[in-house]
A and B are shown apart, each in its own frame.
Chain A
């Protein structure tokens, strides 16, 4: 495992606290000793400690069943932990953080009866913002994901990648501090996935939000992250943390650097080292 060291943020990055993410922007949210046992007795998480700092791009990397999605849902408040706490430093214990979170599912999860603009409007609409007042935000979010001009299209008229872009635009519409993504590109073809990876990097740079990204792809996690949290299953736990000591400004070239290969090897090794023998099939 690599020692933490200073990365080089893009000059456009918004928050001052981003200048040394390796040493920690201000802590944004953390899970402390979080356990989750489901009603059927399955232990999804056995005491997870995870701190997220502002401006980070953290990947939760692991095989299916390692509790990475569960951790994400507990972070979002969509699920309650059986034990342990979710702490938001810098706000009261009772504060409602739901408005500060954007969530992207593996499926685009759009409303088929509503056009793109109305889909993006949904979170704002639920907060009582009229369509007219939301127009600016809708335009901006669609712009950010590269879909300006698609307001009137219906989900069925869009490709899988474009639907995912709409889903991301919707997650951005409340200007969240924290963007949670649950294997968002897993169902897409590789060409589209690479494209969306690049766009997500740019989007985080321009938008300046913190991202927690669940994936089972080693390559995706290395390409995107500033930090990779490797998890193992049965019971779900963290087995390694890897700092990606590379500039945040990345492109295809990055995939050919020795550092990239090195990090992929590290992550793979951590992943396989933690697997039970019967999982190596």
Chain B
């Protein structure tokens, strides 16, 4: 037994070693750069007395953010609501359709091309149409859903299909129990469902999470695009609408403040989804494992 006996079987934590500074640098360096750029920006604006309607200093943007918080926070909430609702709908729809596609070739062949068409048609081009046919809130939500839907669908479909062939054969061998008194195709369907739950579902998880990460960002983009389209029609209340409005009124500091909030929202969504992915995959998937040295 010794030849194959494990050296590190119940050692989840690596042995003590010199502190790993690369992790710290990963945080410190971008932060330092950020501060440096802000400082350069501030100095430049102050030194050259650039008027705020051309380029507001970071300190002015910060002040505007605080001053306009009552307006901006309402807009932020609106955009967040659209983004998350769109994302949730995209995940439910994408996963449900992917499961359907994996269960039936018939559904796959008839539906998948349309999913692709929906994806490759630029949403900006659809949003004016949606605004005609749907109430504004529904139109914005549809936009967010449309762009976020496809990455979830295509990644989950890919994941459901990327199961080890041999494992599927094992299922054939061990899992093919035919319910007594039922026709053979019922047995095959039950086996397929079992394979879906025990094999394809866990195998697809990393792919789904990668799709979710993309969809999170895209859902925000979809919401913003639709808000801009709606905003140019003179209605709306989201952050993107505030940006358009501030542009018309030459309220550039508020435009920057709204932009900063949008950017922050995107970052938070990305970090949250990355954390979720790490949490779910850390025990077994390569992507979540640190390189051991």
- Residues of chain A touching chain B, judged by Cβ–Cβ distance below 8 Å, are 76-78, 96, 98-99, 101, 103, 105, 107, 109, 111-114, 122-123, 125-127, 146, 150, 152-162, 165, 174, 191-192, 194-196, 199
Give min CB distance, B59 to chain A, whole Å.
Answer: 50
Interface residues of B in 7-62 (CB under 8 A from A): 8-10
Contact with A along B162-173 (1 / 0, CB 8 A): 001011011111
- The reply on B263 being an interface residue by CB < 8 A is no
- The reply on B81 being an interface residue by CB < 8 A is no
Please state if A161 and B172 are interface contacts (CB–CB under 8 Å).
no
Q: Which of B113-121, B135-143, B152-160, B194-202 contacts A (4 or more CB under 8 A)?
A: B194-202
- Residues of chain B touching chain A, judged by Cβ–Cβ distance below 8 Å, are 1, 3-4, 6, 8-10, 164, 166-167, 169-178, 194, 198-199, 202-203, 205, 283-286, 289
Please state if A101 and B173 are interface contacts (CB–CB under 8 Å).
yes
Please state if B166 and A107 are interface contacts (CB–CB under 8 Å).
yes
Please state if B3 and A113 are interface contacts (CB–CB under 8 Å).
no
Please state if A122 and B198 are interface contacts (CB–CB under 8 Å).
yes
Knowing A127-B177, A154-B284 touch, does A122 contact B6 (C-beta < 8 A)? no
Chain A contacts of B203 at CB under 8 A?
113
Beyond A77-B173, A155-B284, A191-B3: 12 further Cβ-contacts under 8 Å? A109-B164, A111-B199, A112-B284, A113-B283, A113-B284, A126-B194, A146-B1, A154-B284, A158-B6, A195-B3, A195-B4, A199-B1
A107 to B165, CA, bound (A): 11
Chain A contacts of B9 at CB under 8 A?
150, 153, 157-158
A33 to B127, CA, bound (A): 67
Please state if B174 and A109 are interface contacts (CB–CB under 8 Å).
no
Please state if B285 and A112 are interface contacts (CB–CB under 8 Å).
yes
Closest residue on chain A to residue B206 by CB atoms: A113
Chain B contacts of A195 at CB under 8 A?
1, 3-4
